[in-house]
Structure 1
């Protein structure tokens, strides 16, 4: 079984090196790693190119957006299983072996797993929160399993069928869109709890306005697919839980120093732009 991993990237110079180090250091080597540079204006492509002698290939996608970049990577990949992670994802050392084990089941069309924030305190608690909100809540709302874009894979055969059904975006959660269409095609998604990655908390660390705009895409994606009950539930959770909790969460993340594992009032009130974590 050949495994390809696709990493869409737009201006990810600061994080993509760590992502690729984790991929090339797998205990069971990945057969192909594709970085899809989506018109980056920083050094993303240059950082990725440093890994070319370790099995990384840089592909350029001129159409702007995560979905065109993801599709280009899936289309270019040659593996039997097509992994998809984000540029700020750090896979565990046995991730590819766990993926091989999960994908060996011929009834499985897609695989996903949990993540936690590597730049947030209490990793066990935020791993549990991720499992709750990204997988269990979504499954209760929709009635079928979800995919998590920072930690997922499809079989090549599945992608070839799915390709003509996925939505072009741009204002949708692309992993949720994939999960909806997989369900409608009768495809099986397997949640592998041992297929674990860590990601940055930057998507929930911005201003309330930024994060609110980002999270509203969740119910909107359900609604545009005609999933009215799921959309209503997502809006309710967004309004009753996520919006009220976000300011306090953003303060904790801003005060947290990942390298030292400590909270600092100095960071909380710092005007240094390096302390902020913009949403990609």
Structure 2
């Protein structure tokens, strides 16, 4: 009976946050099916899976439509961002359109681990956490699980080397509270010249507002190592995006130079491993509906 001295008090356990998954896409017909399928097959279903097509000239949008028909029970949403070409406006359109409590952001070549949504929910159990990021496993490299451990160690090292107030998000595997996104979205950089790391830009704006970024090792996503196909010159330009992002925010802390050196140092050994792995793989059929 209510009020009886022996009755136990009712404990209200808050529901875990709902998680949207946002996937910006431009000419991604070779990878978008496996990306969305991995987002569907989760131990805890996503609140919604949003693919934002950005002026693709291939069958990216058609493949997503077919997936929505193939999995009618899955909350797949195909959006179009055709005002301008670029990752940042496409990402922003997806994040602005998402309705979950937490907004996951991955790349079109990402392959989420089956418990990714569940781990994102766990990462945000602490209400102080406003954004989270995790390690990746390179699915087109040899020794994948060893590579995952190595990636985790590198990211842990980057956290230690960086200034303590800057915990960086990784664009291929990140999530942010919708309220945090609403706080920073108007101040994030547009980067019309495509010179910066957009995920680092997000991290810096979160830091400006004192919003906590959490590194969560169990929040794992797969991704392609296709960046290693770049020439050393192009890869160096990619790594130097760190420096250009810092300069755009008037940040000149020496400690923040360390991540650039670490990321560039892994290029040559990883490129050699990828070349050996690729030489031993059978041809892969690309694309398809």
TM bucket (normalised to shorter chain) is: 0.7 to 0.9
Q: CA 1:84 to 1:181, structure 2 compared with 1: closer, same or farther past 3 Å?
A: same
Q: 1:7 Cα shift? A: 0.2
Q: Does 1:214 align with 2:235?
A: no
Higher relative contact order structure (alpha carbons within 8 Å, sequence separation ≥ 6): 2
Tell me, in whole angstroms, the C-alpha distance in 1 between the residues paired with 2:249 and 2:217.
Answer: 28
Spell out the pairing of 1:7-22 with structure 2 (5 A cutoff): 7-22=23-38
Of the two, which has the highest radius of gyration? Answer: 2
In 2: Cα distance, 1:127 partner to 1:89 partner: 14
RMSD: 2.4
Cα pair 2:32 2:63 within 8 Å, conserved: yes
Contact 2:136 2:223 in 1 (8 A): yes
Q: Which residue of 1 aligns with 2:53?
A: 37
2:260 is aligned with 1:233: no
Distance of 1:46 and 1:214 partners within structure 2: 31
Q: 2 CA distance for matches of 1:156 and 1:95? A: 18
SS of the residue aligned with 1:111? strand
Given the superposition, is the C-alpha separation of residues 32 and 232 from structure 1 closer, same or farther in structure 2, using an over 3 Å criterion? closer
Distance (whole Å) between structure 1 residues aligned to residue 185 and residue 90 of structure 2: 13
Match of 2:99 among 72, 78, 81: 78
The answer for the alignment partner of 2:86 in structure 1 is 65
Aligned equivalents of 1:198 and 1:31: distance in 2?
21
Cα deviation for residue 128 of structure 1 reads 3.6
Change (3 A) 1:216 1:191: same
**Residues in 2 aligned to 1:134 and 1:214: alpha-carbon distance in whole angstroms:** 18
Aligned-partner Cα distance in 1 for 2:104–2:116: 10
Which stretch of the first structure deviates more once superposed, 137-146 or 30-39? 137-146
Relative distance call for 1:8 and 1:192 in structure 2 (3 A) is same
Structure having the larger proportion of residues in helix? 1
Hey, what does 1:162 align to over in structure 2? 184
- 1:249 Cα deviation after fit: 2.9
Q: Spell out, residue by residue over 1:12-62, the C-alpha distance to the aligned partner (whole angstroms, 9 max, x if none).
A: 111111111111111111111110111111111111112222321111112
1:227/1:97 Cα in 2 relative to 1: closer, same or farther (>3 Å)?
same
Per-residue CA deviations over 1:181-200 (Å, capped at 9, x if unaligned) read: 11110001111111111100
Q: Deviations over 1:134-159 (max 9, x none)?
A: 45325523322111111111111111
Aligned length: 261
Q: Is the 8 A contact 2:188 2:202 kept in 1?
A: yes
Compared with structure 1, are the counterparts of its residues 183 and 235 closer, same or farther at alpha carbon in structure 2 (3 Å cutoff)? closer
In the alignment, structure 1 residue 191 sits paired with structure 2 residue 215: yes
Q: Give 1:114-263 correspondences, 5 Å limit.
A: 114-143=135-164, 144-169=166-191, 170-230=194-254, 233-234=257-258, 237=261, 242=264, 246-257=267-278
TM-score, reference length from structure 2? 0.83
TM-score (normalised: structure 1): 0.85
Q: Are 2:106 and 1:90 aligned?
A: no
Supply the distance in 1 between the matched residues of 2:114 and 2:130 (Cα, whole angstroms).
23
Counterpart Cα distance in 1 of 2:156 and 2:227: 17
Q: C-alpha displacement at 1:246, in angstroms?
A: 2.8
- Cα deviation 1:206-256 (Å, max 9, x = unaligned): 222222222221222122212212487248717xx726x534432321221
Give unmatched runs, 5+ long, in structure 1.
Answer: 258-262, 276-280
Which range moves more in the overlay, 206-215 or 174-183? Answer: 206-215
